[in-house]
């Protein structure tokens, strides 16, 4: 086993967090800003690189950090290490409402691809890399763009998704999904983009112009409410700056405008 062995507990239902239990000397790595709380005895430090390669030199760390910077991720990852006596706990929470996905990498072929920004935390030893889509269709219209996060290792890793998460096991079948609803998939899955057939369906079906096509042997995780879709709905109903207020009901909105003198 290369990765540290960590125990965990998922807390909550609709706005979850994961509490990780660390034995003395154990470490969990996380994206910057993901920590919710920690117990006395756990020390944290921001470092360049994921710590998966002990003998990786400065240039190797700089190259890995450069790829993260290009993808819009933070240059640094935060290391949380139990330097006290006995078991200690640290918790991580997603930045928006949804579900946390625990992934035992040792049972998933030690390779998982996630859409950008889905990675939350993982046991030390997990390699967190950036993968670029090789297919133009998947790159331009896949919702994740050209960039995916690639996790490799044999320990526990955690991702977060919007809304409810559905786990699908493919045994050579083909699954078609809304492009923004794909959270991640294991290494045995081929990911591509397919254009919807028929002009009427394309422009009046309300499902967008493209669907994600996943086929092969492995696991696929699907989210019911992508953050981008939720953000679009919030912006659609948000008050306009400098304009009249748009209430949830037209009567309340009109009353508010009268009070404001509009």
Q: Which two tokens stand for residue 143?
A: 């919702």
Buried b (16+ CB within 10 A) or exposed e, 227-239: bebeeeeeeeeee
DSSP conformation letters of 79-91: EEEE-SSS-EEEE
Q: Which residues contact 77 (CB under 8 A, 6 or more apart)?
A: 29, 30, 31, 32, 46, 47, 48, 49, 50, 51, 128
Nearest 5°: the CA angle 227, 182, 219 is: 140
Give the pLDDT confidence score for residue 200 in this predicted structure. Answer: 47
For residue 209, the 8-state DSSP code is S
Nearest 5°: the CA angle 248, 254, 257 is: 110
Give the pLDDT confidence score for residue 65 in this predicted structure. Answer: 59
Q: What CA–CA distance (Å, rounded) separates 161 from 104?
A: 17
3-state DSSP call for residue 195? strand
Q: CB-hemisphere CA count at 13 Å for 203?
A: 3
Give the pLDDT confidence score for residue 52 in this predicted structure. Answer: 74
Q: Which two tokens stand for residue 12?
A: 């909550």
Cα dihedral 152, 67, 25, 57 in deg (nearest 10): 110
- Just give the CATH number of 7-225: 3.60.160.10
Tens of pLDDT along the chain (262 residues) come to: 588 999 999 998 878 999 999 999 999 999 888 999 999 999 999 987 777 765 555 555 565 655 656 655 667 889 999 999 999 999 999 878 889 999 999 999 999 999 888 999 999 999 988 887 655 554 455 444 457 889 999 999 999 999 889 999 999 999 999 888 999 999 999 988 777 665 444 444 445 567 888 999 999 999 998 766 666 566 666 776 555 444 444 444 444 454 455 5
Per-domain residue ranges of the chain: 7-225
**155 phi, psi to nearest 5 deg:** -115, -165
**Spatial contact of 131 and 148, defined as CB atoms under 8 Å apart:** yes
**160 phi, psi to nearest 5 deg:** -125, 150
Give the rounded distance of the alpha carbon of 68 from its chain centre: 14
Cα dihedral 27, 33, 37, 43 in deg (nearest 10): 40
Q: What CA–CA distance (Å, rounded) separates 121 from 110?
A: 16
Give the pLDDT confidence score for residue 131 in this predicted structure. Answer: 81
Helix extents (H) in the chain: 58-70, 136-141, 199-204, 227-237, 250-260
């Amino acid at each position: 086993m290369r990765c540290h062995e960590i125990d965990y507990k998922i807390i909550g239902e609709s706005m979850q967090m994961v509490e990780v239990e660390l034995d003395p000397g154990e470490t969990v790595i996380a994206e910057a800003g993901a920590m919710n709380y920690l117990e006395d005895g756990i020390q944290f430090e921001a470092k360049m690189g994921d710590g998966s390669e002990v003998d990786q030199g400065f240039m190797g760390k700089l190259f890995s950090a450069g790829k993260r910077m290009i993808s819009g991720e933070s240059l640094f990852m935060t290391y949380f290490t139990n330097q006290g006596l006995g078991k200690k706990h640290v918790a991580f929470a997603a930045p928006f409402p949804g579900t946390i996905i625990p992934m035992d990498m040792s049972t998933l072929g030690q390779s998982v691809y996630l859409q950008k920004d889905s990675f939350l935390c993982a046991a030390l030893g997990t390699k967190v890399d950036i993968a670029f889509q090789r297919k133009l269709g998947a790159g331009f219209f896949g919702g994740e763009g050209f960039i995916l996060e690639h996790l490799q290792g044999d320990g526990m890793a955690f991702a977060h998704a919007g809304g409810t998460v559905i786990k699908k096991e493919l045994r050579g079948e083909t699954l078609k999904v809304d492009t923004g609803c794909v959270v991640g998939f294991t290494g045995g899955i081929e990911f591509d983009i397919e254009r919807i057939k028929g002009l009427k369906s394309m422009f009046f079906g309300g499902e967008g112009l493209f669907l994600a096509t996943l086929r092969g042997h492995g696991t696929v995780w699907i989210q019911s409410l992508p953050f981008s879709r939720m953000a679009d709905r919030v912006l659609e109903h948000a008050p306009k700056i400098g304009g009249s207020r748009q209430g949830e009901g037209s009567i309340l909105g009109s009353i508010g405008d009268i009070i404001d003198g509009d």
